[in-house]
Amino acid sequence: MLTVPSVTPDAISELSAREMRRAMARRWLFRFSVLIGWVAFIVVWYFFSRVVFNPRQLPEPHVVAAESWTIITEQDFRTHMQASLFRVLAGFLLAAVVSCGLGWLIAYNAWWRTLLRTIVQFTVSTPIVALAILTLVVFGVSSLGPVITTAVVATPYIMMNVAQGLTGVDRRLIVMSESFGRTRSQIITGVLLPSSLISVLAGARLAFAVAWRMELLTEIFAASEGVGFQIRRSFESYDVRGMIAWTVLYIAVMLIFENLVFRQIERRLQGRTA
Partner 1 sequence: MATVLIENLTKIYPPTITYPHRVQALGGVNMSVTGNVFVAVLGPSGSGKTTLLNIVAGVETPTSGSVRAVQDGVPAQVGYVFQEPRLLPWRTVLNNMLYVQDRKSDRSRREAEFYLTMVGLNEVAHLYPSQLSAGMQQRVGIARAFLVNPDILLMDEPFSHMDALTGRSLREYLQRVWLHTRKTALFVTHDVSEAVELADRIVMLRPGGVVFDDIPVNLPRPRHPDDPAVRAVEGEVLRRFDSMEAAVRFGAQAG
Give me the residues that bind partner 1 (CB under 8 A), please.
1-2, 172-173, 175-182, 190-191, 194-195, 271-274
> Residue 21 Cβ, how far from partner 1 at the closest point, in Å?
25
CA atoms of 99 and 107, how far apart (whole Å): 12
Of the pair 88, 166, the CB lying nearest partner 1 is at 166
Q: What is the DSSP letter of 190?
A: I
Report in angstroms the alpha-carbon separations of 11 from 4, 7, 57, 114, 208: 14, 7, 63, 61, 48
CB of 197 to partner 1, least distance (A): 8
Choice between 61 and 190, CB closer to partner 1: 190
Least distance (Å) between residue 157 CB and partner 1: 23
Closer to partner 1 by Cβ: residue 146 or 165? 165
Amino acid, single-letter form, for residue 171: R
Q: Taking the complex as a whole, how short is the minimal distance between the CB of residue 206 and partner 1, in angstroms?
A: 22
- Burial letters for 65-91: b for 16+ Cβ neighbours within 10 Å, e otherwise? eebbeebeeeeebeebbebbbebbbbb
For partner 1, the closer CB: 133 or 173: 173
- The distance from CA 23 to its chain's CA centroid, rounded to whole angstroms, is 28
